[in-house]
Chain A
């Protein structure tokens, strides 16, 4: 999976690239079958549940993630990432879990995410929303 810190970062960047092009088989392959997922919009268990969630998300909006910061554990078992997410609503989604969106709405946020890794897959993903100081955009 990785050859030291640089390899871990490259592996993670490939995950984000797959996510951003909505390549479900490719980014889904990063998830352990029993992954625990604590995102902003959902708490889920299992790869199938996470992929079903993202299928639902992608039917309503485009989601693009940019990597702002990366810290990899030396043993490759954990990643901490600072992520900038842009959501663009493709159609109205009044029941969007983190707040209703109308077609054309854009929403941006910065999150700190913790990834646990075993055998080349994410076993747990947890995200926390970062609140930038007043006057600073997300």
Chain B
């Protein structure tokens, strides 16, 4: 499987909240830096973070583009967060039920074999749409 195909399968597992499948994409000591600079250190920390995000919102990720060279894949992804409950401590900003948040990010994924070892994201563009505006 190419790095690009593996990446699309990884996001498919993410969108399906298939936690066991997701675990298989990460090295145990993977480090992930999300757009606001928060470091998630290790596979378990990442999965715990995403489980919380997905309890509060329905997050869907779309691949805009991805390509790989050597041991790094570069991706542009678009995320939509739809708050399914009030989430005053949501990672990006406080969200009320029904609010939507869009995020366009540039991300580098370093990998060894079939496992991501380092993931770093930078936010290119974001947009908040309160429930009343939807």
Contact = CB atoms under 8 A, between A and B. Distances in A.
Interface of A: 5, 38, 69-74, 78, 80, 82, 111-114, 126-134
A72 B107 CA distance: 14
B122 A111 contact: yes
Interface stretch (B36-44, B51-59, B89-97): B36-44
B65 interface: yes
Contacts of A82: 108
From DSSP, what is the main secondary structure of chain B's interface residues? strand
Contacts of A132: 33, 37
A70 B71 CA distance: 11
Contacts of A80: 67, 74, 106, 108
Given A5-B69, A71-B74, A114 B35 contact: no
B69 A112 contact: no
A114 B122 CA distance: 11
DSSP class of A's interface residues: helix, strand, loop or mixed? Answer: strand
A111 B67 CA distance: 18
A80 B105 CA distance: 12
Nearest to A72: B69
A71 B69 contact: yes
A126 B124 contact: yes
Interface residues of B, number: 23
A71 B122 contact: no
Interface string B95-125: 0000000000111100000000000101110
B76 interface: yes
A57 B122 CA distance: 24
B91 to A, nearest CB: 13
B59 to A, nearest CB: 19
Given A5-B69, A80-B74, A114-B76, A69 B108 contact: yes
A57 B35 CA distance: 27
Contact of B36 (A112, A128, A131): A131
A128 B124 contact: yes
A11 B76 CA distance: 23
Given A82-B108, A111-B122, A74 B37 contact: no
B87 interface: no
Contacts of B12: none
Contacts of B69: 5, 70-74
Contact of A133 (B33, B68, B70, B72): B33
A112 B123 CA distance: 9
Nearest to A81: B74
B73 interface: yes
